[in-house]
A and B are shown apart, each in its own frame.
Chain A
Amino acid sequence: MKKNYGSIYTLPMAFWVTLFFLVPVLIVFLYSFLERGEHGGVVWIFSLNAYRDMLSPTFIHILGITLFISLLSTALTLLIALPCGYYMARSRRKSLYLFLIIIPFLTNFLIRIYAWQAILGNSGFLNNLLMRLGLIDNYIQFLYNEWAVIIVLVYSYLPYAILPLYSTIEKFDFSLLEAARDLGASHPASILRVMIPNIRSGIISAVLFTFIPTFGAYAVPKLVGGGRNSFMLGNLIADEILVNRNWPFASATSILITLVTTAAMGLYVFANKSAARAAQRKRI
């Protein structure tokens, strides 16, 4: 009796995600092993050309740039988010601060990128300000390079890192820090060796929430990046689909991103499990 109802309840959802998510992803997987068609699409001949193309210096360079930008953005985001989460968790105005962190994100993602274009552009706010102050005579090009991409990525994903850190730090028992200091640890040492290990799960969530979307970034490098050093894997996929019409190569690159993302997620689950096991051992 029970068994039947369970399948009936989940049937529409199972049907929907199978048809519109699993099947498309499987098609992409399949396409990555086929020959490219002349005007987009594929020819049904088995081929490893798409994966062989990944060994080209151009691709390696794009992969390196993508890793550089996403890892550096993730590290910067974490460095900013940790003290923020700490301060918010210790303050008496928690809900006000939470609200303030979330407010900027009530505006559309593209409008936030646009705001940075307006600030960093050649005739933008910052250049105007610097010129009016007499600090520079001619504009400085802030936009259209890898650093602009990193700034906007950090800006875009900062709250996603602050929120999980805040919620784990809030649960942290701060008397442990006092105990460490009573036992002679300096303030930085007590933070590094007592607090950080205890809020590991929050740190891992923050890293994942920033690394996964920045590794697959597309819109930010497209709008504020430029040149060879901010062309990321996401832009490569779009170009291969829409411009070069090399669908198998776009598919293979998508599969690579999917594998990296899934591996990161797997590490997260593994780390959480081992953290839970360690906690259990301590309790015994």
Chain B
Amino acid sequence: MKKSRFSRIVFFLTLIFLFMPLIVLVVYAFNESKNMSWTGFSLVWFQRLFTASRSIWRAFWNSILIALSSAATATAIGTLGAIGINWYSFKLKKYVQTISLLPLILPEIIIGVSMLIFFVGAGLHLGLLRIYIAHTTFNLPFVLLVLMSRLDEFDFSIIEAARDLGAREHQTLLKVIIPMAMPGIISAFLIAVTMSLEDFVITSFVSGPGSSTLPVHIYSMIRTGVSPVVNALSVVLLGGTAGLVFLMRPFFKYITHE
């Protein structure tokens, strides 16, 4: 075992490096003082988060609304797209496939800037609508990738069998393809929700004043310095994420076992 001593040391140091910021964050959420020196245990920042931070919660609900709607749109459009690309040949197929995956490789700032310029040119001023369109766009490639690899796994002869037995195209789609692709559809939707909740750069470019998502709001809070309310918020978000992951275990099992 001598041979992997170096890599073991690096690995455990890396774990410390990855976890230390989060531990500091959580511990200091319970600190009485506003500064980073420990003065005593207190829940004052949580109290402030839940009673005196209405704008945070408005941004939070905006985030949820955008995440669910853009993920749903991207999943619907992307699933149909993956079916078309995987099983049919048609004109411009190469074009559709390339252009749909391209947003994945460009840095976020490029997508943010080009969408901002586009929205200004198109005279579209509604902040939430802009964010919804932007999020759906950057979510599409992820949905497409997940669904394409999912569809690759199953047997095309099942679909041919459905057709031979007289199923119309829409019946094949609704009763055979979509049920079979369901684990892929669910995981694509979950990935899209996560990406949407996580995005800051693109959103900050396209959102106008008055419509912010949670990351954009957090940015405006931390730009001016350390605020323990953000610590309290991150504890709540961490707890919420852990709780959701726990509650969704059956879903994950369903996705990975199928």
Is B92 engaged at the interface, CB distance under 8 Å to the other chain?
yes
Q: How far is the CB of A265 from chain B (nearest CB, A)?
A: 5
In the bound complex, do residue B110 and residue A114 qualify as a contact, i.e. CB atoms below 8 Å apart? Answer: no
Interface residue from A14, A20, A158, A187 paired with B137 (Cβ < 8 Å):
A20
Is A194 engaged at the interface, CB distance under 8 Å to the other chain?
no
In the bound complex, do residue A87 and residue B7 qualify as a contact, i.e. CB atoms below 8 Å apart? Answer: yes
Distance A208 CA – B237 CA, assembled complex (angstroms): 30
The stretch of B43-51, B178-186, B216-224, B247-255 in contact with A is B216-224
Interface mask (A251-273 → B, CB under 8 Å = 1, otherwise 0): 10010011001100100000000
> Total number of A-B contacts with CB less than 8 angstroms?
256
In the bound complex, do residue B20 and residue A119 qualify as a contact, i.e. CB atoms below 8 Å apart? Answer: yes
Q: Which residues of B contact A262 (CB under 8 A)?
A: 105
Interface positions, chain A 220-244, Cβ under 8 Å from B, are 223, 234, 237-238, 241
In the bound complex, do residue B28 and residue A118 qualify as a contact, i.e. CB atoms below 8 Å apart? Answer: yes
- Per DSSP, chain B at the interface is helix
In the bound complex, do residue A17 and residue B89 qualify as a contact, i.e. CB atoms below 8 Å apart? Answer: no
Chain B, residue nearest A89 (CB) = B7
Is B36 engaged at the interface, CB distance under 8 Å to the other chain?
yes
Q: Which residues of B contact A241 (CB under 8 A)?
A: 113, 116-117, 205
Q: Which residues of A contact B120 (CB under 8 A)?
A: 41
Is A112 engaged at the interface, CB distance under 8 Å to the other chain?
yes
Q: How far is the CB of B218 from chain A (nearest CB, A)?
A: 5
In the bound complex, do residue B7 and residue A9 qualify as a contact, i.e. CB atoms below 8 Å apart? Answer: no
In the bound complex, do residue A3 and residue B88 qualify as a contact, i.e. CB atoms below 8 Å apart? Answer: yes
Q: Which residues of B contact A216 (CB under 8 A)?
A: 106-110
Chain B: residues with CB nearer than 8 A to chain A? 3-4, 6-8, 10-11, 14-15, 17-22, 24-25, 28, 35-37, 76-78, 80-81, 83-85, 87-93, 95-96, 99-100, 102-103, 105-111, 113-118, 120-121, 133-134, 136-137, 140, 144, 169, 197-198, 200-201, 205, 214-215, 218-219, 222-223, 225-226, 230-231, 233-234, 237-238, 241-242, 245
Query: Given A6-B88, A10-B80, 12 other A-B contacts at CB below 8 A?
Result: A5-B84, A10-B96, A14-B99, A20-B136, A20-B137, A22-B99, A103-B19, A104-B22, A109-B198, A223-B219, A257-B110, A261-B110
